[in-house]
Structure 1
Amino acid sequence: MKQSGGVEGAGSAVGVVDEFRRLYGAGPEGVWAAPGRVNLIGEYTDFNDGFVMPLALPHRAVAAVSRRTDRILRLHSADVAEGVVQLGIDALEPRSDTGWAAYPAGVVWALRAAGHPVTGADVHLASTVPTGAGLSSSAALEVVTALALNDLYGLGLTGPELAVLAQRAENEFVGVPCGIMDQMASACCTEGHALHLDTRDLSQRQVPFDLAAQGLRLLVVDTRVKHALGDGAYAARRAACEAGARALGVRALRDIPYAQLPAALDRLAAAGESEEVRRCVRHVVSDDHRVERTIALLDAGDLRAAGPVLTEGHASLRDDLRVSCPELDLAVTTALAAGALGARMTGGGFGGSAIVLTEESAADQVTKSITEAFASASYTPPRIFPATPSPGARRLS
């Protein structure tokens, strides 16, 4: 999907209402928004029942929606060069569509599979969340669709319940074995906070995250690249984690205390588990611990001290999980050399984005240094913008 360049742009409520009316001949019943997210710390931990700490971005997917009673779903995106996609909701089948429409259609399928009386809809979508950047553009589409249908059909589902249904849509209908973090972040984050989420029981805590008050800035560096190596690699890492948990006799890697990690790795070696399994286990258990360390620092009001923890996380993703790439590594090393407090890749890797924690006074120099480093390496120019903790999914009108 081609995304608009600004945070508002095609994602404005007025714009989607006008386009909905042009497409469908009448105004929508309402307009909803759901944000993309960036993950501060805790990567590849959500499908291991572990801990994560995302925050919502100002970039969002916006949906204008009306109900239908004829079991027809009509979908249109401002960001795709094609017309209205029309589907019969009774004929929706998992893995039947690999295009953008699979995400909102999968939500309708998941709602109906759960017994909710959705009888069709007209939907127009517009998004400012960059795709392929590790910022959860797909989750934003899913959550905004789920929230709109929840409101219109009076389903009474909570944010976490909508997130679970959206995850099911992505796992079973689209066929991506993602964890729950992206959908929970889009559905449940609040403005000015990071979300401390336990992905096992979905308990959550909104942690104040006021960067400006501490003279800090969190930058997102969208490398604007996605390497083919990433295709299928996420599923392979998940399989390795599950193999490690089975070998250790636990439900999930979250159940291995950090203090017991060396002994657990010795057990895996003795059992003949591969180096890949051992590396994945080491990353997940240590990254869960990094989330706990970061929470403690935020609670103590010492966000600056979290910088080195972020950098440790990048080293683990690069060396143990092996999901980084030259562009991400260059963004991190250049940011640190320019005076950043910490930096790491975020998201699934093999491209996508990095985050940089820096003093406000150094943000411009860090940005300039990364841009120049990419130019010197003949890489695609990166897109760099501040991550402002923003509201989660909500109705706009």
Structure 2
Amino acid sequence: MDIHGLISGISEGRFDDQLRRLYGASDRAVLRSRARYLSAAEGFSRFCPLCEEIHVYSAPGRTEIGGNHTDHQHGCVLAAAVSLDMIAVVSFRDDGVIRIKSEGYMTDEIDLGALEVNDAEKGTSAALIRGIAAKFTEMGVNIGGFDAYVTSEVKSGSGLSSSAAFEVLIAFIINEKYNEGRASSAELAAIGKFAENVYFGKACGLMDQMVCAAGGFVAVDFADPSAPVVTSVDFDFDKEGYSVCITDTKGSHADLSEDYSAVSADMQQVADAMGASCLREADEEEFYRLIPQLRNTCTDRALLRAAHFFAENVRAAEETRALSDGDTERFFGLVEESGISSAELLQNLYTVRKPEDQPLMLGIMLSKRFLGGSGAVRVHGGGFAGTIQAFVPGYLAVDYAAEMERIFGEGCCYVLTVRPVGGYELLL
């Protein structure tokens, strides 16, 4: 289709069924997504005024549901793709250049004739694009160029994994056009991880990319990190009458690297003391029996964090079973247990270097007061600052968001649906 076909198709509602699938069934969600796509079309027209044939792609953000700080110890995680996404309007070109203009940012231009690691690019979106292209080339895929205008609702720092959404989006575009869609969602996730690890320079795991690529609810077992076991979970919160709400409490992420690193270091300290390569390989009952001896070489905080891992790893698997059984009462109970464990054992709700700043604790307290025993609330993601997650009865979702925004500022609360698909192309 051309840009005029996209604009008329959006305006006349010919994409509405697809938009409902991606963003929720409500008329409000459809109208809002129409406006986003029309804005993206306008942005693309400014970026590439002479392009004729276009394609439109989307990739979602993700929310961690269960398994707080378990993946780096080869544990189990439950996560879901969400209705906040990145969209790209794309026109393919026959030279060896990829040009990507992300709304609000400078254009990245990648020459496909130079795909080696560029140290000067580390930490940039250009590094991710180059790394993804390099991996496809290594796989024997003959990549061509394209122009893309990208707009995103997966904001950086929101805890919804903007980097993984971007990686999956770029990998999905290349896979659909130049690889006939042959790469599976797991392979697209691995390509994104490769780009982030090797080209971007961040030692991330695979969970975020896996969820963004697969869509829906995804249970991931990282017992073998090189070949994680991924299981789709069939559950629909909308049909059960609940919304997933993520609130950005606006705590600063600055200078938190030490806090994040200390979590995995503490857990690894215990694993090493028990002669295991990671806590997943250690025996839980042996851990409790050995606590007197472990205190000689491990800190008390490390022991508490290890205790969190053992319980949280089991809990993530139990949450998966509860959703599979449609047992929301059991699931919400487990979510509450996870939140309490994160506060008391994992201790990732605020940094001890600034104990007077506790926006996560404040948000959780206010959420519990608002919910009055219904639904559930917990810390979301890495912790120490950033976001909380609440499962809110649908009829309360608007009021809940208003209460969070009264405290933490306008636009801080995202009322989400779980998106059933990962990478997606919008088709007439």
Q: Which amino acid aligns with 1:231?
A: S
Verify: 1:356 aligned to 2:356, yes or no.
no
1:70 CA displacement: 4.2
Label 1:365 to 1:174 Cα distance change in 2 as closer, same or farther (>3 A). same
Overall identity of the aligned pairs, in % = 25
The two structures have a TM-score, normalised by structure 2, of: 0.79
1:330 CA displacement: 1.1
The 8 Å contact of residues 55 and 195 in structure 1, kept in 2 or not, is answered as yes
Runs (5+) with no aligned partner, structure 1: 1-5
Q: How far apart, CA to CA, are the structure 1 residues paired with 2:91 and 2:385?
A: 37
Q: How far apart, CA to CA, are the structure 2 residues paired with 1:65 and 1:232?
A: 40
Q: How far apart, CA to CA, are the structure 2 residues paired with 1:243 and 1:42?
A: 20
Verify: 1:315 aligned to 2:340, yes or no.
yes
Verify: 1:174 aligned to 2:203, yes or no.
no
Q: How far apart, CA to CA, are the structure 2 residues paired with 1:371 and 1:18?
A: 30
In the alignment, which residue of structure 2 is the partner of 1:102?
127
Q: How far apart, CA to CA, are the structure 2 residues paired with 1:140 and 1:310?
A: 25
Q: Which amino acid aligns with 2:382?
A: G
In the alignment, which residue of structure 1 is the partner of 2:415?
386
Q: Which amino acid aligns with 1:19?
A: G
Query: Which stretch has the larger CA shift, 98-107 or 219-228?
Result: 98-107
The 8 Å contact of residues 345 and 355 in structure 1, kept in 2 or not, is answered as yes
1:356 CA displacement: 1.0
Selected match of 2:237 from 211, 222, 225: 211
1:261 CA displacement: 4.4
Q: How far apart, CA to CA, are the structure 1 residues paired with 2:118 and 2:264?
A: 21
Q: How far apart, CA to CA, are the structure 2 residues paired with 1:68 and 1:365?
A: 48
**Pairs within 5 Å for 1:157-236:** 157-190=183-216, 194-199=217-222, 200=224, 201-236=227-262
Q: Which amino acid aligns with 1:71?
A: G
Label 1:257 to 1:205 Cα distance change in 2 as closer, same or farther (>3 A). farther
Q: Which amino acid aligns with 1:336?
A: K
Question: What per-residue deviation string (whole Å, max 9, x for no partner) do you get for residues 199-254 of structure 1?
Answer: 33332222232224333333221224433132354344334444443333334322
Q: How far apart, CA to CA, are the structure 1 residues paired with 2:134 and 2:35?
A: 27
Q: Which amino acid aligns with 2:376?
A: G
1:151 CA displacement: 1.3
Runs (5+) with no aligned partner, structure 2: 1-28, 351-357
The 8 Å contact of residues 141 and 179 in structure 2, kept in 1 or not, is answered as no
Q: Over the residues paired in the alignment, what is the CA RMSD in angstroms?
A: 2.8
The 8 Å contact of residues 144 and 178 in structure 2, kept in 1 or not, is answered as no
**Secondary structure in 1 matching 2:208:** helix
In the alignment, which residue of structure 1 is the partner of 2:367?
335
Q: How far apart, CA to CA, are the structure 2 residues paired with 1:26 and 1:232?
A: 47
Label 1:54 to 1:94 Cα distance change in 2 as closer, same or farther (>3 A). farther
Verify: 1:289 aligned to 2:299, yes or no.
no
The two structures have a TM-score, normalised by structure 1, of: 0.84
Q: How far apart, CA to CA, are the structure 2 residues paired with 1:263 and 1:117?
A: 57
**Secondary structure in 2 matching 1:245:** helix
Selected match of 1:38 from 63, 68, 72: 63
In the alignment, which residue of structure 2 is the partner of 1:143?
168
Q: How far apart, CA to CA, are the structure 1 residues paired with 2:383 and 2:418?
A: 22
**Secondary structure in 1 matching 2:67:** coil
Q: How far apart, CA to CA, are the structure 2 residues paired with 1:277 and 1:110?
A: 38
Q: Which amino acid aligns with 2:314?
A: H
In the alignment, which residue of structure 1 is the partner of 2:25?
none
Q: Size of the alignment, in residue pairs? A: 380
Q: How far apart, CA to CA, are the structure 2 residues paired with 1:70 and 1:129?
A: 30
Selected match of 2:43 from 19, 25, 35: 19
Question: What per-residue deviation string (whole Å, max 9, x for no partner) do you get for residues 169-194 of structure 1?
Answer: 1122222222211101100023xxx2
The 8 Å contact of residues 115 and 133 in structure 2, kept in 1 or not, is answered as no
Q: Which amino acid aligns with 1:308?
A: G
Q: Which amino acid aligns with 1:85?
A: D
In the alignment, which residue of structure 2 is the partner of 1:346?
380
Q: How far apart, CA to CA, are the structure 2 residues paired with 1:281 and 1:78?
A: 42
Question: What per-residue deviation string (whole Å, max 9, x for no partner) do you get for residues 290-343 of structure 1?
Answer: 112212322333212322322222233334333323111111111112214321
